Structure 1
Amino acid sequence: MALFSMTASIPRVLFLVSLALAMAAGPWPVAARGGRLIHLHFYMHDITGGPDQTAVQVVKGPGAVHPLMPGSHFGDTTVIDDALTEGPSAASRLIGRAQGTYMLASLKEPVLMVTMTVALTGGAYNGSTIAVVGRDDVSAGVRELSVIGGTGAFRRATGHVLWRTSRIESRDHMVLELDVYATVPGGSLAPPPRVDGMHQAA
């Protein structure tokens, strides 16, 4: 009787072990569930002074002056509400705002910790948002940040942002070029294939 009970429980034990291993391996890749890749390309205008200022320092770090960023201190924190445009010119069509903070997070390197929400206000994704966080090494030609979620068409999004300094308009105005690659699960809202320079990758 005991032998029969043990033998009968083997399939159940194997099932539980398989389930535990699957859970330990983490969630299935989004692509395996019919995920959709969306690629956005736009420009971000970070203006730290003047009448059109969009970035305001709210914390002055108490540390020593940064060796590679004169006038800056470890811990300096800036709040942003930067314009996002289709082209590099500030006069280009406005498609959203980048709202959040960046903090000088390295004692010796020119590295910022960025936390922001991309709020889209034009084009196919009007009303949707994308949550972006990551390490911005200002000295690098291309920086990679993470997409960690979103709302609307970007609900439960994952992915990355390639972030470049496009040009410096003035001492107070830096233009950044962003390529956002966001994968959303198949059940998320499906945007049209291409509108206003923003497109869904095949």
Structure 2
Amino acid sequence: MEENKILWLALTLYMIAAPVYCRYHSQSVPYVSLRKKVSKLHFFFHDRISGKNPTSVLIARPNITKEDKSPALPFGSLFAVYDPLTVGPEPTSEVIGHAEGLYVSSSQDVLTLVTYLDFGFTSGRFNGSSLSLFSRNAVTEKEREVAVVGGRGKFRMATGFARLKTRFTNETASGTVVECRATVVHH
């Protein structure tokens, strides 16, 4: 029994004193800021939750939502989004990409959405790049501000904000047209 204690003590001391060799190596280096750019974008997106060709589709709705003041989007409703991005406010305007993402109705008294959208550009100067927004979106306000939290391509490591302005709303015809003016800081 005494020999086992001595053996365990010897092994423990050996493991403490033995150098650790491994293949993983990391080194902290100071962050060197790359030259930052500021881009200002102006475009429109068209959101239709009804009609012949909706661009936002209800994918989940709670069955325990109490009576609320927004029957079209009750609290807890989750939508998938694929909205066209256009140069102008007209539905026939040139399409420059799509807004893909989700929004959830997040208020029980005033229509408010928590919105995640990835604005993917498919033409023009930012073709192949995208901006990611994740923010509270008080859609009952005509003008509001949402956060730009990232991007890819030319918008890599993007931050900034986007000012959204509802230009037109008609749920039965062409839906909602939203003007977006984004100020984006990126590398």
Structure 1: distance between partners of 2:176 and 2:72 = 17
Cα drift, residue 169 of structure 1:
4.2
Q: Is the 8 A contact 1:43 1:175 kept in 2?
A: yes
- Point out 4+ residue stretches in structure 1 off by more than 6 angstroms: none
Structure 1: distance between partners of 2:102 and 2:44 = 17
Q: Pick from 181, 186, 193 the counterpart of residue 183 of structure 2.
A: 181
**CA RMSD across the alignment:** 1.9
Structure 2: distance between partners of 1:55 and 1:159 = 25
Structure 1: distance between partners of 2:59 and 2:67 = 17
Alignment of 1:112-151 (within 5 A): 112-151=113-152
1:40 alignment partner in structure 2 = 41
Letter paired with 2:139: V
Aligned-pair identity (%): 29
Kindly tell me the number of residue pairs found equivalent between the two proteins.
Answer: 156
Cα drift, residue 43 of structure 1:
0.6
State whether structure 2 residue 71 is matched by structure 1 residue 70.
Answer: yes
C-alpha distance after superposition, 1:158-183 (max 9, x if no partner): 00010111112443511011011110
Give the gaps of 5 or more residues in structure 1: 1-22, 186-202
State whether structure 2 residue 73 is matched by structure 1 residue 99.
Answer: no
Normalising by structure 2, we get a TM-score of 0.78
Q: Is the 8 A contact 1:65 1:74 kept in 2?
A: no
More helix by share: 1
Structure 1: distance between partners of 2:160 and 2:67 = 35
C-alpha distance after superposition, 1:50-103 (max 9, x if no partner): 222111000112312322x12432100110100010000010000000000110
Partner of 1:124, secondary structure, is helix
Q: Is the 8 A contact 2:116 2:134 kept in 1?
A: yes
Q: Is the 8 A contact 1:159 1:182 kept in 2?
A: yes
C-alpha distance after superposition, 1:115-134 (max 9, x if no partner): 01000001100000111111
Structure 1: distance between partners of 2:111 and 2:159 = 27
Q: Is the 8 A contact 2:50 2:171 kept in 1?
A: no
C-alpha distance after superposition, 1:30-66 (max 9, x if no partner): 7xx5321101111100011222211100011231232
Give the gaps of 5 or more residues in structure 2: 1-29
